[in-house]
Amino acid sequence: MNSTAKRIAVIGGGVAGLLASLTAAHEGAKVLLFEKMPKVGLKMGITGKGRCNLTNSAPIMDFIAKTPGNGKFLYSAYEKFDNEDLLSLLHSWGLATKVERGGRVFPQSDDAQEVRHLFMDRLKKEKVELHLEEPVRHIIAADGRAAGVVTDKGRCDVDAVILTTGGASYPRTGSTGDGYAMARELGHKVNTIRPALIPLVCSEVYCRELQGLTLKNVTLSVEAGGRRKAEEFGEMSFTPFGISGPIVLSLSDKVSLWISQGRGVKGTIDLKPALTREVLDRRVLRDLEKYHLKQMAGALTDLMPHRMIDTILELAGIPGDLPVSELKKGQRLALVEAMKNMPLTIVGTRPISEAIVTAGGVSVKEVNPSTMESKIIRHLYLAGEVLDIHAYTGGYNLQAAFSTGHLAALSAVKELESE
Ligand SMILES: Cc1cc2nc3c(=O)[nH]c(=O)nc-3n(C[C@H](O)[C@H](O)[C@H](O)COP(=O)(O)OP(=O)(O)OC[C@H]3O[C@@H](n4cnc5c(N)ncnc54)[C@H](O)[C@@H]3O)c2cc1C
């Protein structure tokens, strides 16, 4: 870096801001990274249950498909810096990675802190000027271009600003939605934020009774007003307030949207999605013959987890102490129905503070997808979750933050150099 190097302020030392800072510094800019927390990358450190699902090995088209929140906006960012580019970079820094089920890529060490520390080391190497515990309050714009930032310590003049303050979930990591207000002040539209990838709240008492129980290979279906429908097959669990787990998180984006539109949402769990009602009925009959000397509560152990039996019998209206030999055909069919169609009344989502990602944010219509530059304020770039982008689980959200952060930094340096 020389003394005439252009000055770039990066606001937020999270996933997007860290890579943006390193990229801009590597390209010769003088980078000032402002982070409101005492440490950078706090959210990165808790990703993937502490293991950091860095990205996915899938082709880029899958990344777009797995990003219900404005996936197509990311084409250019992925063209410039995709999952393979990210992994090459991390490998060149000495990080070993591995690919797991569903193409999910993790550090070999299973330790998100290793990734965080790697980024912190690189900040030193690239001589990024770190301003920890110094939240940015405002972005200064003069003559339609970003010219500086204001913190509690005063004003800091720069040539370009990259806004990477993240979403509004897990506020203890520093993501408290500050960037939305800063962008709004400059005339940007911020689409209503809501939780995505979030556990769901159900009114059924049995969810609480079954809390901690995980169901595998089930289908969860959700619908609003009979017309909007979605379903996922896989694993879910019961919680003290409702349901969670991979398939619940996958469906939660749609449910969160429907709820924000004031729609009532119903769910059903199919405990035996591979079996039609007729085949399941024959299977139940076989089990009832096998356990014909027992009561109903003792006759279903081969069909479902032990803890579910009372709930299913109650849903079917069958007393647990009813002798198997006294079960009527209508009751047996009700039992099959309860297993194929376990009802859930979804009354809400958990709060946004508990969401894995925030849906909504700065409208991507006002950001150039080829550069990440604001279409309203020149030399203001935006990247990561502060934008109205959100993806499913699987490493897609981190890749989106890395790719947009990288593109924002490259574009900022290139644009400043060309002046
Ligand atoms: C529990 C959990 C697990 C997750 N696991 C995964 C996973 O395994 N894989 C995956 O792909 N995604 C995962 N995600 C999502 C992923 O972490 C986010 O999408 C990603 O961190 C977004 O990056 P970002 O840089 O936009 O925001 P962040 O990483 O949230 O960074 C924003 C930064 O800006 C700082 N900041 C905010 N306001 C200011 C201000 N005024 N001034 C200065 N600094 C400010 C914050 O302190 C923070 O450091 C997970 C999320 C959570 C909550």
pLDDT of residue 28: 96
Name the closest-CA residue to atom 8, ligand 1.
48
Query: What percent of the chain has a predicted confidence (pLDDT) above 90?
Result: 96
pLDDT of residue 53: 98
* pLDDT tens per residue across span 277-331: 999 999 999 999 999 999 999 999 999 999 999 999 999 999 999 999 999 999 9
Q: How confident is the model at residue 227 (pLDDT cuts 50, 70, 90)?
A: confident
User: Is the Cα dihedral 119, 120, 126, 129 positive or negative?
Assistant: positive
* pLDDT tens per residue across span 148-196: 999 999 999 999 999 999 999 999 999 999 999 999 999 999 999 999 9
DSSP-assigned letters across all residues of 308-332: GHHHHHHHHT--TTSBGGG--HHHH
Q: At what angle do helices 396-417 and 83-92 cross, to 10 degrees?
A: 80
Same domain, 178 and 214: no
Whether residue 220 lies inside any domain: the answer is yes
Lining ligand 1 with CB less than 6 A are 11-17, 34-37, 42-44, 46-48, 52-53, 135-136, 164-166, 169-170, 173-175, 178, 356-357, 384-385, 395-398, 401
Domain count, the chain: 2
* pLDDT tens per residue across span 336-388: 999 999 999 999 999 999 999 999 999 999 999 999 999 999 999 999 999 99
Q: Which domain holds residue 338?
A: 199-349
pLDDT of residue 39: 98
Same domain, 150 and 293: no
Same domain, 263 and 403: no
Give me the mean pLDDT over the 77-97 stretch.
98
Mean pLDDT estimate for the chain: 96
Same domain, 152 and 22: yes
For 288, residues 6+ apart whose C-beta sits below 8 A from its C-beta are 299, 324, 327, 332
Q: Count, in order, helices (H) and strands (E) of the chain.
A: 13, 19
Same domain, 292 and 379: no
Name the closest-CA residue to atom 29, ligand 1.
14
Same domain, 262 and 401: no
Tokens of 417: 């150099």
CATH code of the domain containing 368: 3.50.50.60
Scanning 5-149, the segments in alpha helix (DSSP H) are 15-26, 47-50, 60-65, 75-80, 83-92, 112-125
Same domain, 152 and 210: no
Q: Which of 46, 63, 175 to mutate to test the pocket of ligand 1 (most atoms within 8 A of CB)?
A: 175
Tokens of 3: 């003394």
Same domain, 186 and 221: no
Q: 245 pLDDT exceeds 80?
A: yes
Distance 386 CA to ligand 1 centre (A): 9
Same domain, 116 and 178: yes
Same domain, 336 and 366: no
Whether residue 354 lies inside any domain: the answer is no
pLDDT of residue 2: 59
Alpha-carbon distance 296 to 383, whole Å? 58
Instruction: Name the more confident of 83 and 3.
Output: 83
